[in-house]
A and B are shown apart, each in its own frame.
Chain A
Amino acid sequence: MTTSKEHGTPTFQVVYPGQPGDAPATLRNIAHRGGAMNPSVDALRATFGAAILRSEVVWGDTTVYVERAKVAEICAWLQGDPSQSYEYLVDVTAVEYRDAVRAIEVVWHLRSLKFRRFLRLKAELPKDGKTPLAVPSVWAVWKGADWLERECFDMFGIRFEGHPDLRRILMWEQYKEGYPLRKDFPMRGRFSRSEQLKQALAANPEARYSMEELSISDAFEDLPTDMRSRLLGGEKTGE
């Protein structure tokens, strides 16, 4: 970072994606399966060995299946290693198939701006009743994972271990019906309309702030006495 002389405005060096001389073009006639594999896969195999389970190329994109417990380590390496330089986390999401036994997959879409590469990482969570629905968080590697992981937790119930603030984001904190994007969740929701209405009417309208917010400041002291005692008694707030 340099500083211009006139107003002390900090200015940044411009970061260009890709290598000099590259001229990427629109992809055409992509094969359904097969095709050039992302070179990062070989580098991953050389570095992590058995933690890289298998890889495939579908419609031009490379997918790598990795061991669940090693995800954070692999991501940190992919982001930090100068030969990989995946400095951009595109997306974190999950896929549950309509198959009752097929594993739930957690999907990370990574992008290297430096090399103009795209890589899809996947970790499988078998539905055997024994494997916990949990994967390591990559929040420490990319801050952009914060809300993406929270959404994935909210919608699928997958816990991201190491996430600093893993709570529901799109649904409200006291939502009790489960995880909406799971295949066993009916489109209309789990509860009947009357039950949903009953819960909505029973919500405490004066408690507009979450416990976390109330605890961060002196505002707690300004609350009405009865509300303060209820909160101290462990009652949850919520809309």
Chain B
Amino acid sequence: MATATSKRTIEVALSTTGLGPDGKPQRIPLGAEGLTRAAPALEPEFEGEHMLINIGPQHPATHGVLRLVLELDGETVVRCIPHVGYLHCGFEKIGEYRQYNQIIPWTDREDYLNSMGNNVAYALGAERLFGIEITPRCTVLRVIAMELSRIISHLVWLGTTCIDIGAFTPFLWSFQERENVYNLLERWTGARLTTSGTRVGGMIADVPEGWTDQLRHFIATFPKTLDQVDRMLNKNAIWVGRTVGLGVMTPEEAMNYGLSGPMLRASGVAYDVRKDFPYLDYETYDFDVPVGTNGDVYDRFLVRQEELRQSVRILDQALQRLPDGPVNVDDPRVILPSKTKATSEMESMIHHFKLVMEGPRPPIGEVYVPIESPKGEKGYYFVSDGTAKPVRWRIRPPSYVNLSAIPKMVEGHLLSDVIAINASIDIVMGEIDR
């Protein structure tokens, strides 16, 4: 990996493994003129005849219950109408009937590939609403949690996208590594997918004995898998031919459509919430933000690949600085007293009773705290009227907004490219439909 001198590495760090002799990423067009791959001229008698094709909601390549209705001219997409909502569960409505800590399990289930990251995002928002500052150990543990879920999410993205495009082996590699991360999360929180790992003011638990050694082992071995994937895909003629030049979004379009995360950065906008609106002391970690310059599916792949490496860097630094000390804040407004205290001290018993029966009560106010989730800018918007249940709990879903640009991205491309473009958005229907 190239050592970056600037805080943001452009192109160079992105393409370290796919470098050509001139230092530029090597791109191998598959015989096609240019990169947009215009459809060949149609037979005259078929010209102008359009067909309506329905993909999904039950289709393996739509990554959930997404339904796309496509109007085709031959094999070229003329118009795309996406339908979402098949998985709508009313999370935001349910949140209005739950206490602040009771909502945390719902955050696992919206973007279920990033459950730990959502837990942390939720806790950060709720803590600002309560006016709580978390402990130093908790801050570092949350950074570890967020980067681990970023790795999970990007690995699932990598695996499923490879399957969509026709490569099977990287899927096995990435899911094997994902299993290692899930083992780590299971030892920490007791659950693999639905972790519910945070509480307002702290974490569900400290990491167990020997856990950091297991994590060290993971970050020592994981980059080897990434190298394998790089060797397999970066210069692979089929992979490059099926991804380069597809679904291009210019920086202006990407910002105007509200794209975020790797989608925005692949289009050349170096916006990362961790750098630009830092939280959890991310400004003190040394990591780079990969940025693409072509805004196509291939650049999104490169950006995510590099983000995996940067996550490993952050994890390494977090492990080095992990301080001792308590995980939960010492604040009886939100944190339950220990069992011994609750049964031996009058005040602790009252706190315990009030916290369990009534729930913590934030002051009147509203907050929106964004974080950089693997899909993009995710934020929870809370409105409190001073009672124990939020008046409004809003999820800002990054993949919902990213998906809304799919008609713009697929129109004019071939039907088979719709699958690659849809995969590159990295959607999770649980988050889109909520």
The reply to whether B293 and A90 form a contact with Cβ atoms under 8 Å apart is no
Residue of B8, B267, B366 near A12 (CB, 8 A) is B267
Number of A-B contacts (CB under 8 A): 201
Given A9-B35, A16-B8, A98-B385, residue A90 in contact with residue B377 (CB < 8 A): yes
The reply to whether A187 and B93 form a contact with Cβ atoms under 8 Å apart is yes
Rounded to whole angstroms, the CA-CA distance of A214 and B79 in the bound complex is: 12
Interface segment, one of B202-210, B272-280, B348-356: B272-280
Rounded to whole angstroms, the CA-CA distance of A27 and B401 in the bound complex is: 27
Interface residues of A in 84-116 (CB under 8 A from B): 87-91, 93, 95-99, 107, 109, 113, 116
The reply to whether A7 and B250 form a contact with Cβ atoms under 8 Å apart is no
A interface residues, Cβ below 8 angstroms from B: 1, 4, 6-18, 23-30, 32-33, 58-61, 63, 87-91, 93, 95-99, 107, 109, 113, 116, 118, 120, 142-148, 151, 155, 168-172, 180-181, 185, 187, 208-210, 212-214, 216-219
CB nearest neighbor in A for B90? A180
Q: A22 CB to closest chain B CB, in angstroms? A: 9
B interface residues, Cβ below 8 angstroms from A: 8, 10, 24, 27, 29, 34-35, 49-52, 54, 69, 71, 79, 81, 84-85, 88, 90, 92-94, 97, 128-129, 131, 133, 244-245, 248, 250-251, 253, 255-259, 267-271, 275-283, 291, 293-295, 363, 365-368, 370, 377, 379, 381, 383, 385, 387, 391-392, 394, 396, 400-401, 403-405, 408, 433-434
Q: B19 CB to closest chain A CB, in angstroms? A: 14
5 contacts between A and B (CB under 8 A): A88-B258, A90-B396, A143-B256, A213-B52, A217-B51
Q: Top 6 nearest A-B pairs by Cβ distance?
A: A144-B258, A12-B268, A219-B52, A147-B404, A170-B85, A217-B50
Kindly list chain B residues whose C-beta atoms are within 8 Å of the C-beta of A170.
84-85, 88, 433-434
Kindly list chain A residues whose C-beta atoms are within 8 Å of the C-beta of B267.
12
Rounded to whole angstroms, the CA-CA distance of A70 and B408 in the bound complex is: 29
The reply to whether A95 and B282 form a contact with Cβ atoms under 8 Å apart is no
The reply to whether B365 and A58 form a contact with Cβ atoms under 8 Å apart is yes
The reply to whether B433 and A12 form a contact with Cβ atoms under 8 Å apart is no
Q: A82 CB to closest chain B CB, in angstroms? A: 14
Q: B65 CB to closest chain A CB, in angstroms? A: 12
The reply to whether A26 and B365 form a contact with Cβ atoms under 8 Å apart is no
CB nearest neighbor in A for B97? A187
CB nearest neighbor in A for B79? A216
Residue of A6, A17, A58, A116 near B27 (CB, 8 A) is A6
Rounded to whole angstroms, the CA-CA distance of A116 and B271 in the bound complex is: 10
Residue of B258, B270, B385, B391 near A16 (CB, 8 A) is B270
Given A13-B268, A28-B133, A170-B433, residue A217 in contact with residue B71 (CB < 8 A): yes
Kindly list chain B residues whose C-beta atoms are within 8 Å of the C-beta of A60.
128
The reply to whether A209 and B27 form a contact with Cβ atoms under 8 Å apart is no
